[in-house]
Amino acid sequence: MEFLTTSEAADYLRLGERKLYELVTNGAIPCTKVTGKWLFPRHELDLWVLSGMARPAGMLMAEPPPVVGGSQDELLDWSLRESGSGLGSMTEGSARGLERLQRNEVMAVAVHFHSLDPEGNLASDASVTALRDAPDLHDAVLVAFVRREQGLVLPPGNPKRLRGLSDVLALGARMAMRQQGTGAQMLLDVLLTRAGASTRDLRRVETPALTGPDLAEMVRAGQADCGVATRAAARSAGLDFVPLVWENFDLAMRQRSYFRPAMQALIRFLSERRLRQRAEELTGYDPSPAGQIRFAA
């Protein structure tokens, strides 16, 4: 993240330093104070300017509803409530959520895309690539929420002694699936590809689970021997867990939505100690990147 000094920020915005200090005093411009000096994140200044852009009547775009779509996550659901943001949630998976964001049907979307890089490794920024490639999202912003642990959710005691996907394939364990377009299903697909296999090689439970907790319930009820979900989902259901990867779990939105009061309430909450405490209670979360802008178009 690039920071500007007071004089640099004033030049960048074509403002006098006196006017800039007035905005700082009124809390009307994004800034931070470090060792007595004001610093201005350049990306935040760009978003601040764009958020106030006036458009001719024919170009006005409908405001999206105060809803976060995309992927389900227990810590995110809790944060939406505790932050007082007034934001609701709509769980449909990363891909469908991104489609809704493109149609202006949600204010933000929780995403965790997965793909392989040219060397056959898990791509580190698959969600950034998904935003760049999405039509009509030239004004996208990706804000880090947390990093979280994904793995195999298993019955208590792990009766089949599954230690990874190779055991699932070799033993023909019944695998609970997620619907296509979810980040968890993308993760399973790419991990299978790396192992030289595909979902056709699995003994699948045909009815897909809508969310990670739904999948965990299928395993707890004995309908499946395993499935891919978060450590937090496994713990909440009283199930065993074999870790596979740590992933980025982010919030994507349009630049004009970033400064909306509801979204700002949530983003401010991401720096609070309560979030870190709750993440530790749920287990399987790393909240250290929370609130960082990972990408801005």
Q: What is the pLDDT of residue 25?
A: 86
Q: What is the pLDDT of residue 200?
A: 94
Q: Is 293:258 a contact under the CB 8 Å cutoff?
A: no
Q: What is the pLDDT of residue 60?
A: 44
Q: Which of 293, 292, 205, 202 is nearest to 255 (CA)?
A: 293
CA distance 33 to 40: 9
CA distance 85 to 20: 28
Q: Is 192:165 a contact under the CB 8 Å cutoff?
A: yes
Q: What is the pLDDT of residue 55?
A: 59
Three-class SS state of 160: coil
- Environment class of 277 (CB within 10 Å of its CB; exposed 0-12, middle 13-18, buried 19+): exposed
pLDDT digits (tens, 9 = 90+) for 69-79: 999 999 999 99
Any idea how long the chain is?
297
Q: What is the pLDDT of residue 111?
A: 97
Q: Average pLDDT of the chain? A: 91
CA distance 100 to 116: 25
First to last CA, the chain: 14
Confidence of residue 86 (pLDDT cuts 50, 70, 90): very high
DSSP 218: H
pLDDT digits (tens, 9 = 90+) for 96-153: 999 999 988 999 999 999 999 888 888 889 999 999 999 878 889 999 999 999 999 9
CA distance 290 to 268: 10
pLDDT digits (tens, 9 = 90+) for 181-222: 999 999 999 999 999 999 999 999 988 998 999 999 999 999
- Environment class of 23 (CB within 10 Å of its CB; exposed 0-12, middle 13-18, buried 19+): middle
pLDDT digits (tens, 9 = 90+) for 239-250: 999 999 999 999
pLDDT digits (tens, 9 = 90+) for 253-294: 999 899 899 999 999 999 999 999 999 999 999 999 999 999
Q: Is 146:78 a contact under the CB 8 Å cutoff?
A: no
Q: What is the pLDDT of residue 121?
A: 87
Most confident of 21-25, 37-41, 230-234: 230-234
The strand ranges marked E within 211-277 are 226-230, 240-254
